[in-house]
Amino acid sequence: MQKKPRGYFEVTDDEYSSSEFVFIALSMLESRGYPGFFELMSVVEDPALIMKIIRLFYGMTIKIPPIKEFKECLQAAEYTYLDMHKHINTNLPAKSKDICQFMNITPEEEQHLLDIFDDWAKFMHDQGADVRNYMHMNRNNTKKRIDMVCKGKKWTQKNY
């Protein structure tokens, strides 16, 4: 074993992800014109996770949506999840009418959520992650809708 030079020390991964180290690093970033890290530290209390987030998104600009847009996407995600996975009983998938009743939404609100769904399905298809390939769907109309959207067509009940 080789003798270590005088004053030699090592820094562990735990030290690099300690709250003290992360606080120093992130507050330095704030001081250099990268705002939002104090808020991030107040919400994510795991310094190691913060470091992983920064490594994952390094150099990327993340656009945080307005709360209205976030709410709409959450609502569209709920509608989509219920459409793809929810059953009334073991043999009967939930239908659009059932989902609207559960979510207490109007036909106009449903159409807005379906527009978000269509945009999402097309986006995922264009990114090479077609949701039909990895997500179970109870309803054939949902599969048909995605098929139409991916072909650049607008879904209407008259299509099928």
Which pLDDT tens digit goes with each residue over 103-146? 999 999 999 999 999 999 999 999 998 888 888 888 888 889 99
Site of tokens 């390939």: 133
**How far is residue 83's CA from residue 75's CA, in Å, rounded to a whole number?**
12
Higher pLDDT, 26 or 119: 119
Site of tokens 């507050």: 27
pLDDT band at 159 (very low <50, low <70, confident <90, very high): very low
pLDDT at residue 68 in the model = 94
- The pLDDT of 46-68, averaged and rounded, is 87
The distance in angstroms from the start CA to the end CA of the chain is 76
**How far is residue 130's CA from residue 122's CA, in Å, rounded to a whole number?**
8
Closest to 88 in 3D by CA, of 75, 106, 101: 101
What are the residues whose beta carbons fall under 8 Å from the beta carbon of 40, sequence distance 6 or more? 26, 50, 53
- Asked whether the predicted pLDDT for residue 36 surpasses 90, the reply is no
The beta strands (E) that lie in 83-130 are given as 87-89, 92-93
Q: Are 66 and 119 in contact (CB under 8 A)?
A: no
Helices and strands of the chain, counted as H and E runs: 8, 2
Residues 58-83 pLDDT 10s: 888 888 899 999 999 999 999 999 99
- Residue 95's SS3 state is coil
pLDDT band at 157 (very low <50, low <70, confident <90, very high): low
pLDDT at residue 74 in the model = 94
